[in-house]
Amino acid sequence: MTLVQNLLRPLNGNSYLFAIFILLAVVSCSSVFKKGETTIPDTDSTTVVHNNHLADVLIETNDANADEYLSRTWKVALILPFHLNSIDFYDLETEVNPKAILALTFYEGALLALDSLKKLGLNFEIRLYDTQRDTLALKRILAKPELKQMDIIVGPVYSDNLDITARFARKNNIPMLSPLSPNKSNLAVNKFMLMLTPTIETHCENLVRHIKQNYSGATIVLAYSPYLTEDEKSFKNSIKTALDSTFSRSGADANYREFIQSAVNSAEFDNLLSDTGQNIVLMPSLSESYVSLNLGRIRRLVKKRNIIVYGLPLWLRFESIDIKYFESLGVHLTNNWFVDYEDPEIKTFRKKYIETYNIEPSKYAYKGYDTFFFLGKLCLNCGLNFDLLPRDLTWVGLSSEYNLRPVEVNGIIQRYENSYVNILRFKEFSLISIN
């Protein structure tokens, strides 16, 4: 079973040639987006998305210095794992390294956003740097003198590189935008850092909040195997923390229980469920076999119980589970992005992307577009001076929604994190957003 379209289609034909163009741009380490000059292929004057979406950036701008922000050129360091060391530029038949596709498609989406922002009068000088997912390569990049002259750093992707970059940005008072990593572990304090991807804790808090708001009084069972991976333990512990702060485990209003076994076919599990009321089963598992086995068994209980299952974002990657299980159990998932393919703006973006790159946009293409359009909003709203950011900064992109709030310890801002998470549900064999 494939729940969503393949997110990483192989590059070939014209799309491969364009990938080579992008990588050559990375080699030169400079892509400039100014009025009248651009390194991207010439496109028609069609704006990528509807005018009302573009206008959002300008309408919400109240800063008296907006004219100054439009007149200057913003220097952006985009630090991603392009894996140039694995590319043979003299052999056009060689397939692109799959590890490079994340960076390539993210940048392709960013190019379309930059092209649209240029039409609004926003000028950017983008310098591209390849980390190769290597800390030594990253340190060599950060040692370059021009990095200290950047107005903002976008990236990198992985948590080990993220902390190194956060420390560099804090030392040199450079704003930093983390577009993809949800990991905040051991992250250096940097009040000028924005994390656009919600953390595991944020996913779990939103999940439990949704249960509280929509199924108050339900019987809740947190079911998991005694043999969890470290990632599964992180999800389980975060869900438990959110549940413990929201629901009671003792007393007359007790409605939250734990079930720790490899399978849910025991009478003990059945006894935890309500015969007449709503039951919520949370499974913090990343194991496709565990989820498949237990969804099948829970589905048999639906005949005599009212049960809804909450799972994890990575369940969308499972291919062997019968979608009927997701449908009949009303499976709810959280995710940091969602694309409504019936939305006119999505249709316009997909059409433009396919015309330009000859390939279906991946989730990273959407994220690249949203990240750089949001960067344009930041430039116009506060001139990248994060001291001027409102306490709650919200913006709705094509696939991502941002609700940025400061993370504070003893009144000191540590960073800004995106607190918005999509709650998704399977209905009529489709995935819909219900929040």
CA distance 372 to 288: 34
Q: Where is pLDDT greater, at 401 or 58? A: 401
CB 48 within 8 A of CB 118: no
Flag whether pLDDT at 5 surpasses 60. no
Tell me the two tokens of residue 310: 């909450």
Strand ranges (DSSP E) for 157-261?
176-178, 193-195, 219-224, 256-260
Q: Where is pLDDT greater, at 81 or 46? A: 81
Alpha-carbon torsion angle 340, 420, 314, 231, nearest 10: 170
Residue 47: predicted pLDDT: 35
User: In sequence order, what DSSP letters do the residues of 102-115 get, joined into one string?
Assistant: HHHHHHHHHHHHHH
Tell me the two tokens of residue 392: 């709650």
Confidence label for 349 from pLDDT (cuts 50, 70 and 90): very high
Tell me the two tokens of residue 196: 């656009």
Q: Where is pLDDT greater, at 320 or 21? A: 320
Tell me the two tokens of residue 238: 């975060």
Alpha-carbon torsion angle 321, 181, 29, 131, nearest 10: -80
Mean pLDDT of all residues in 267-288: 93
Sign of the dihedral through C-alpha 227, 232, 233, 237 = negative
Where in the chain are the domains?
Answer: 13-197+340-420, 201-335
Domain 201-335 carries which CATH code? 3.40.50.2300
Confidence label for 353 from pLDDT (cuts 50, 70 and 90): very high
User: In sequence order, what DSSP letters do the residues of 333-373 get, joined into one string?
Assistant: EEES----TTSHHHHHHHHHHHHHHSS---HHHHHHHHHHH
Q: Which long-range contacts (CB under 8 A, 24 or more apart) does 391-394 make?
A: 394/420
CATH architecture of 13-197+340-420: 3-Layer(aba) Sandwich (3.40)
Confidence label for 382 from pLDDT (cuts 50, 70 and 90): confident
Flag whether pLDDT at 27 surpasses 50. no
Kindly state the DSSP code that residue 317 receives in the 8-state scheme.
G
Q: What percentage of the chain carries pLDDT values higher than 90?
A: 56
CB 161 within 8 A of CB 131: yes
CB 114 within 8 A of CB 124: yes
Residue 37: predicted pLDDT: 32
Confidence label for 295 from pLDDT (cuts 50, 70 and 90): very high
Tell me the two tokens of residue 21: 């163009």
Tell me the two tokens of residue 221: 């069972």
Flag whether pLDDT at 24 surpasses 60. no
Confidence label for 216 from pLDDT (cuts 50, 70 and 90): confident
Confidence label for 266 from pLDDT (cuts 50, 70 and 90): confident
Flag whether pLDDT at 7 surpasses 90. no
CB 377 within 8 A of CB 60: yes
Other beta carbons within 10 angstroms of residue 261's beta carbon come to 14
Alpha-carbon torsion angle 280, 427, 395, 101, nearest 10: 100
Among the ranges given (249-253, 273-277, 279-283, 402-406), the one the predictor scored with the smallest mean pLDDT:
249-253
Confidence label for 49 from pLDDT (cuts 50, 70 and 90): very low
129 membership: H or E segment, kind and range: strand 123-130
Mean pLDDT of all residues in 219-246: 94
Among the ranges given (5-9, 217-221, 367-371, 425-429), the one the predictor scored with the smallest mean pLDDT:
5-9
Flag whether pLDDT at 60 surpasses 70. no
Residue 143: predicted pLDDT: 97
Tell me the two tokens of residue 428: 């009529």
Residue 160 neighbours by CB under 8 Å, 6+ apart: 135
Flag whether pLDDT at 84 surpasses 70. yes
CB 300 within 8 A of CB 329: no
Tell me the two tokens of residue 383: 């001139």
Mean pLDDT of all residues in 383-392: 84
Mean pLDDT of all residues in 209-214: 94
Confidence label for 19 from pLDDT (cuts 50, 70 and 90): low
CA distance 228 to 67: 54
Q: Are 13-197+340-420 and 201-335 in the same CATH fold?
A: yes
Pairing of strands 219-224, 256-260: parallel
Average pLDDT, the chain: 83
Mean pLDDT of all residues in 187-210: 91
Flag whether pLDDT at 369 surpasses 60. yes
Flag whether pLDDT at 59 surpasses 80. no
pLDDT for 103-162, tens place per residue?
999 999 999 999 999 988 899 999 999 999 899 999 999 999 999 999 999 999 988 899
Among the ranges given (59-68, 220-229, 294-303, 398-407), the one the predictor scored with the smallest mean pLDDT:
59-68
**HSE (side-chain half, CA atoms, 13 Å) at 296:** 10
Flag whether pLDDT at 250 surpasses 80. no
Burial of 333 (0-12, 13-18, 19+ CB in 10 A): buried
**HSE (side-chain half, CA atoms, 13 Å) at 105:** 26
